[in-house]
Amino acid sequence: MTAKPRVLVVGGGFAGLETAFGLRHLLGDRVRISLAADREDFLFKPNTIYLPFGADEAPLHIRLPDPLFRRHIAFHQGSVSGVDPDALAVELTDGTRLRGDFLVLATGAAMHPQEVPGLAEHAQSVWTPRQMRSLGRRFQELKDAAQAGQHRQVLFLVPPNNKCAGPLYEIALMLDTWLRRAELRSHVHLTWTTYESGYIQAFGPRLHRVVEHEFAVRGIEGHTSAVVDKVGPDEVRYTDGTTRPYDLLVAFPPYVAAVDHPGLPGDDRGFLTTLSVTRQVHGHPQIYAPGDAGDFPVKQAFLAFLQAHAVAEHITTMVDPALLARPRPFEPISMCVMEMFDRATFAQVPLEETGDPAHPVRVAADAGDRYRVGTSPLWRLGKKTLGLYLPVQFRAGRPFHSGRPWQAMELALDGMARTLATGPD
């Protein structure tokens, strides 16, 4: 290790930025930090759900060079072409070679619609802002047809190997409210199908019941354990032989790793296999994979923050053991707010891995009163507050979990969760 240790972070998303800003917050000038990313801006992806309904995209972007410069973090723009695990080095496509004493691979996930025959050709996907804007145009066409008295069928589809379908649930519920407000809902039939045995299966029975109730009162036809076989131009066929027609198909495709890392251990989707509590890559103690690049079965922003925080604390103890008595391990507690336009659902769900590929995570056995789910119009304010808080933190070069702003946010969320949560099962 060099006199002033070097940390190289690869990736400019939630996990990469949280790790870099967290390290600077914890270690100050005791460490040199560099960050490489294929884009020069950060996208606040959770709020792209509003784009199909006319929201402005510009506020969702943060220019990376500005906060990184403020925190004395060197920025390199470029895509990864290779990783040398032994040298702790990364090569970019322009030939730049970067090295560190610690390497954080926060290179994220990508969509792989080609996995399902016909999905890429016929479905409207939700992932990038461009796809969200395209979906907005399709929704406007849907509204125009309904205003002309024509009936339309919208089918929402979650195929196997999707790692977090929450945003698609939000879009389906928001579409229902949007159409009702325009007094056009009776002209549009909404159907939901998912391969999982329960709605948002990973987050347990309480969230399943919330979605089940919302679908029932909103007249959304829902189907679980519906595994897609192939997609045609106007219908979807499932493995049980069922077919369902559509005029508009909206799908959240299967996930794969965004970057291939030959020479490092990965699972069948390309996600790097890690030690759960530290996010260290197996067999490579100075390489970490927080967030979507790693093998935790659920891909979600809040879980990425927690993993990045664990990585930053672990590296801190390696650099200067006197600063932290003991690094906090990654404890998977999902926190999310599901938007519906007229109300929202908050969920705080302690998770544990099962080792079962069909049900890779479940609500932790010791979750107790930490497992909270509740629905209220007030949670829309909570989601908007989070949407303002995080960009402010990142624009200032501060981690999500730090300082008095986070303490105040945490207290507010905890108070609302205790007040608005439903009772135990």
Would you state the pLDDT for residue 407? 74
Q: Which of 191, 198, 210 is nearest to 359 (CA)?
A: 198
Asked if 313 contacts 327 with a C-beta cutoff of 8 angstroms, the reply is: yes
- Give the architecture (CATH level 2) of 6-108+258-420: 3-Layer(bba) Sandwich (3.50)
Dump pLDDT digits (tens) for 116-149: 999 999 999 999 999 999 999 999 999 999 999 9
Asked if 159 contacts 228 with a C-beta cutoff of 8 angstroms, the reply is: yes
The mean per-residue pLDDT over the stretch 335-339 comes to: 94
Q: Tell me the sheet residues that pair with 41.
A: 63
Residue percentage of the chain with pLDDT more than 70: 98
Question: Would you place residue 1 in the very low, low, confident or very high pLDDT band (cuts 50, 70, 90)?
Answer: low
Asked if 201 contacts 211 with a C-beta cutoff of 8 angstroms, the reply is: no
Three-class SS state of 88: coil
- For the cut 50, the answer to whether the pLDDT of residue 424 exceeds it is no
The mean per-residue pLDDT over the stretch 267-294 comes to: 98
CA dist 286 and 298 (Å) reads 24
- Tell me the CATH number for domain 113-254: 3.50.50.60
Long-range CB contact pairs, 150-153, < 8 A, 24+? 150/187, 151/187, 151/188, 151/189, 152/187, 152/188, 152/189, 152/247, 152/248, 153/188, 153/189, 153/191, 153/245, 153/246, 153/247, 153/248
- Please give the structure tokens belonging to residue 23: 């390290």
Average pLDDT, the chain: 94
- Please give the structure tokens belonging to residue 50: 């509003």
Q: Tell me the sheet residues that pair with 9.
A: 35, 104
CA dist 7 and 60 (Å) reads 27
Query: Of 15-24, 92-101, 217-226, 324-333, which gets the smallest average pLDDT?
Result: 324-333
* Residue 307 neighbours by CB under 8 Å, 6+ apart: 15, 279, 290, 291, 294, 296, 330
- Please give the structure tokens belonging to residue 89: 């080095």
Would you state the pLDDT for residue 344? 96
The segment(s) of the chain belonging to CATH 3.50.50.60 are 6-108+258-420, 113-254
